[in-house]
Chains A and B, each alone.
Chain A
């Protein structure tokens, strides 16, 4: 049975690795400017994790195979170098490997989070609430009208609680159920939660960020490929969590301008 077990381990290890190597189920295409660093980091990590996984499983299998059929008179052997080899190996190989991953990964992270948005980034606000995303564009004045929580009303379709009668900045705000952005233009996404915790995830954009009620956060990104993508909520927010999604259209500048005009007319 030991030999069968050893073979099973190796078969399972190889079968597990195949879908990874063949990218059978893999990340969506990258349409962002910052995503390449993430994808490179992912490949690096996959290689190291993959090698560690296969090496360790194979070693386990080989040792089970080799040392499970002892005969009377066989002597116990110590692994050459003893535990010292193991400890040194762990520190030197694994330690340097993970620290390198950490250092390079920090660079990728810094590019996203430690650089401020460009001065001419297009501001778009997204509000997450049970169970839909709504987006707000500031209109020609470039300013968002203040949110009045006591005026928020799904029934009246006033999702942001804006007061167009009394707030000048709110008059030209455009609120939509779908998000559209012009291609190759940096977007400054302002994130606001209406009620509980949610999260904004667009795999193609390589962006995932939680909404924190009471804290107004933001991320910034640039989309490089025209197309239609999905925004999904990834922070459990209640019974409709699975259904909380919106479409993101990345459009040419011209198409985007037309779209925005159409949306403005619908306000």
Chain B
């Protein structure tokens, strides 16, 4: 008989053990959520500064010089400061929001409960993973405070700019070292997290919980953790090699004969493209790491609000798996015009086009499940449905970016920026919102305010379309990305559209404060929540209290008798049966 995690730790009593250095996966999940919340506020604030500057380049933003005297003399943002803010915006959002909230935050909180376990098998590694991630965040933010500021090379940190040191520009010395160190530390934290997620899913399921009986959200986290394992394990050595090029005089990524500021650089023989290959081998699975948990969460929220299981539970999960596998074969589509062999570009474009198929299947399963459903509209389901709309809108621009010949026209333009913001940024945010409105009652025993939730939704849905749909038009017109101002003749007529986008961004951003207010207000003053406010079926709604007790199920692990989504099935009138209910019903036979 193998010991379970139950033996590993008992209920804590001190404040520190309960709320700070906690081994409880629920506390760790909330800590990650808090980190992501802080990170998203910082990232969003940076985007406001960027957007104001893009619309009105010489505008003196009041107080900006307090943030950086060098970066904003007289409150007017310098070109380098724009790039530094942009790099930090992207790095913070991709790593500390999109990888952290849907995966580490909700996954840590709910995966053990959904599989019917008391905790994850390695609670100390789990606790470490949060503190390691937080350390990474602090190291990254520290780069704002070094004399030259943060790195300005974009979150992609292409060599040789990222590797030549401070001769490359402001922030390219210490800023890059801090960036690379932060990301290497982040990778460590994520690997510790993946370790726990995978072992929880495989080894900690309760009686009767087969893999196919896991909720879709659990599958989302499981598949993501496998991707994370392999992707982050590649980014980490890449960052270390980059640090060595900076501090140890090696030349992994810097070729010979570079002349900067009229000085011949000491490096020799390194490969610029090597960085791109290593980075994008990580980078492409990373964007799926950012979106698959959201797909899992949205599916889970939708099912409860449609009062019927997915059209095909297994097909959906197989599609998630196909996305994960294919995500490793497509990374070269970021490098179509990079100077790699043009044959490679054609080779990479085919899996990129083929990945459309599982993406389409996922969307069609969602749509097909809506057919004949008994849809309930609330904040959670609105954001889940909004996710579908946003994923479609962001996804179709992929048709263009998957083809090298078209990429010639849209590479490095706002078309790409629009694509990834919609399909990954906004969609994943909607997934986080859907999860928050849905699971808040279980986490805090209170309901979030529905009116505020709906207001938040409407501003977010319409607002993000107003912001990011025009990015595609800008890109088609040749608006190059990562420009701090538009001095190119042919881009002048595009400035009014930029100003429209800026206004939309500021309004939509302000509306997010409604959500933050709702979070904190409801935490203390929200209406008390019933045990199962959504009449949902998965195990998290079977815990004896909200929030669940320390060991999740009050000492008695549930026994699972049913597939996860026994809502009204064809011909029935919407009864539901919880997974751990011994009542027998006519079970849905999954045909896939």
Question: Does A267 reach chain B (CB closer than 8 Å)?
Answer: no
Contact with A45, one of B368, B389, B399, B497 (Cβ below 8 angstroms): B399
Of the stretches B133-141, B430-438, B482-490, B555-563, the one at the interface is: B482-490
* Among A73, A130, A214, A245, residue most surrounded by chain B Cβ atoms (within 10 Å): A214
Interfacial chain B residues near A236, Cβ < 8 Å: 83, 153-154, 158, 161, 482
A64 to B477, CA, bound (A): 35
Contact B368 A26 (CB under 8 A): no
Q: Are A90 and B161 in contact, with the CB atoms below 8 A?
A: no
Residues of A with C-beta under 8 A to B271? 214
In angstroms, Cα B186 to Cα A36, docked, is 46
What residues of chain A lie closer than 8 Å to B487, measured between beta carbons? 242-243, 245
Would A53 and B400 be within 8 Å (CB), given that A8-B461, A236-B158 are in contact?
no
Q: For residue B570, which residues in chain A have a CB less than 8 angstroms away from its CB?
A: 75-78
State whether the Cβ of B367 lies closer than 8 Å to any Cβ in chain A.
Answer: yes
A41, A85, A210: the one within 8 Å of B338 (CB):
A210
Say yes or no for B499: interface residue by CB 8 A criterion. Answer: no
A37 an interface residue at 8 Å Cβ cutoff? Answer: yes
Give the residues in chain B near A2, CB-CB below 8 Å. Answer: 375, 377
A49 interface contact, C-beta 8 A? yes
Q: Does A99 contact B (CB under 8 A)?
A: yes
A189 contacts B by Cβ under 8 Å: no
Residues of A within 8 A of B572 (CB): 75-76
Give the segment of B8-16, B95-103, B215-223, B349-357 that binds chain A.
B349-357
A154 surroundings in chain B (CB, below 8 A): 262
Q: Which of A1-39 contact B (CB under 8 A)?
A: 1-2, 5, 8-9, 12, 16, 19-20, 24-28, 37-38
Interface residues of A in 157-214 (CB under 8 A from B): 161, 194-197, 199, 201, 203, 206-214
A9 to B568, CA, bound (A): 27
Stretch binding the partner chain, chosen from A105-113, A137-145, A253-261: A105-113
Q: How far is the CA of A238 from the CA of B171 in the complex (A)?
A: 10
Min CB distance, A236 to chain B, in Å? 5
CA distance A45 to B476 in the complex (A): 13
Q: Assess the B161–A197 pair: CB atoms within 8 A.
A: yes
The reply to whether B371 and A48 contact each other, CB–CB distance below 8 Å, is no
CA distance A213 to B338 in the complex (A): 11
CB nearest to A17 among chain B residues: B469
Q: In the bound complex, how far is the Cα of B264 from the Cα of A195, in angstroms?
A: 9
B342 touches A109 (CB 8 A): yes
Contact residues in A for B574 (Cβ distance below 8 Å): 70, 74, 76
Q: Check A239/B83 contact, CB under 8 A, given A101-B403, A105-B404.
A: yes
Asked whether A196 lies within 8 Å of B164 as measured between CB atoms, the reply is yes
Q: Which residue of A lies closest to B170 (CB)?
A: A239
- A64 CA to B370 CA, complexed, in Å: 7
Q: Provide the residues of chain A in CB contact with B397, threshold 8 Å.
A: 49
A74-B573 CB under 8 A given contacts A45-B400, A87-B315, A90-B360 = yes
When chains A and B are docked, how far (Å) is the Cα of A240 from the Cα of B490?
Answer: 18
Determine whether the beta carbon of A38 is less than 8 Å from that of B400: no
Looking at the assembled complex, report how far the CB atom of A14 sits from the nearest CB atom of chain B, in whole angstroms: 12
Cβ–Cβ contact A113 & B342, under 8 A: yes
The verdict on B514 contacting chain A, using a C-beta distance below 8 Å, is no
Q: Is B531 close to A, CB under 8 A?
A: no
CA distance A204 to B167 in the complex (A): 34
Taking a contact as CB atoms under 8 Å apart, the answer to whether B573 and A210 are in contact is no
With the chains together, A230 CA to B154 CA distance in Å?
24
B233 interfacial by beta-carbon distance below 8 Å: no
| Complex CA distance for A76 and B588, rounded to whole angstroms | 13
In the bound complex, residues from chain A placing their C-beta under 8 Å from that of B571 are 75-76
Interface size range on B against A: 35 or more
Given A196-B160, A201-B412, answer yes or no on A98-B483 (Cβ-Cβ < 8 Å): no
Give the chain A neighbours of B353 by CB distance below 8 A: 98-99, 101-102
**Nearest residue, chain B, Cβ from A66:** B371
CB distance from B50 to the nearest CB of A (A): 13
Q: B33-41, B306-314, B578-586: which lies at the A interface?
A: B306-314
Chain A positions 219 through 242: 1 when the CB is less than 8 Å from some CB of chain B, otherwise 0? 000000000001011111111111
Inter-chain contacts of B154 with A (CB < 8 A):
236
In the complex the two chains form, what is the Cα distance from A26 to B476 in whole Å? 5
B64 at the interface (CB under 8 A from A): no
Whether A59 is near chain B, meaning CB under 8 Å from some CB there, is yes
A265: interface (CB < 8 Å)? no
Q: Does A83 have its Cβ within 8 Å of any Cβ on chain B?
A: yes
A90-B474 contact in complex given A5-B377, A48-B399, C-beta closer than 8 Å: no
B331-349 interface code vs A (CB 8 A; 1 in, 0 out): 0000001110010011001
Segment at the A interface, from B190-198, B253-261, B282-290: B253-261
When the two chains form the complex, which single residue of A86, A129, A195 contacts B160, counting CB atoms closer than 8 Å? A195
Instruction: List the B side residues contacting A26 at CB < 8 Å.
Output: 476-477
Q: Tell whether, in the assembled complex, residue B315 and residue A208 are in contact, meaning their CB atoms are under 8 Å apart.
A: no
Question: Please, how many angstroms separate the alpha-carbon atoms of A89 and B367 in the complex?
Answer: 13
Known: A105-B404, A235-B412. A70 touches B170 (CB 8 A): no
Interface pair B389/A197, CB less than 8 Å apart: no
* B409 adjacent to chain A (CB < 8 Å): yes
* B478 adjacent to chain A (CB < 8 Å): yes
Q: Which of B170, B339, B372, B402 contacts A79 (CB 8 A)?
A: B372
B85 to chain A, nearest CB (A): 12
B-side interface residues toward A, CB under 8 Å?
78-80, 83, 152-154, 158-161, 164, 168-170, 172, 254-260, 262, 264-265, 270-273, 306-308, 311-312, 315, 337-339, 342, 345-346, 349-350, 353-354, 356-358, 360-361, 363-365, 367-377, 382, 385, 388-389, 392-393, 396-397, 399-400, 402-409, 411-413, 454, 461-462, 465, 469, 473-474, 476-478, 480-490, 494, 497, 567-574, 591-592
Instruction: List 11 additional contacts besides A57-B393, A63-B370, A213-B255; criterion CB under 8 Å.
Output: A12-B389, A38-B405, A67-B370, A77-B372, A86-B364, A105-B349, A105-B406, A194-B258, A203-B478, A242-B486, A245-B487
A-B contact pairs, 20 of them (CB 8 A): A26-B476, A46-B400, A76-B373, A82-B368, A87-B315, A90-B361, A98-B357, A98-B402, A99-B354, A102-B350, A109-B346, A130-B169, A149-B258, A149-B264, A153-B262, A155-B262, A203-B478, A208-B411, A239-B152, A241-B482
Closest 7 CB pairs of A and B: A214-B255, A77-B372, A83-B312, A113-B342, A234-B412, A212-B339, A239-B80
Interface residues of A (CB under 8 A from B): 1-2, 5, 8-9, 12, 16, 19-20, 24-28, 37-38, 41-42, 45-46, 48-50, 52-53, 56-57, 59-60, 63-64, 67-68, 70, 72-79, 82-87, 89-91, 94-95, 98-99, 101-102, 105-106, 108-110, 112-114, 129-130, 149-150, 152-155, 161, 194-197, 199, 201, 203, 206-215, 217, 230, 232-243, 245
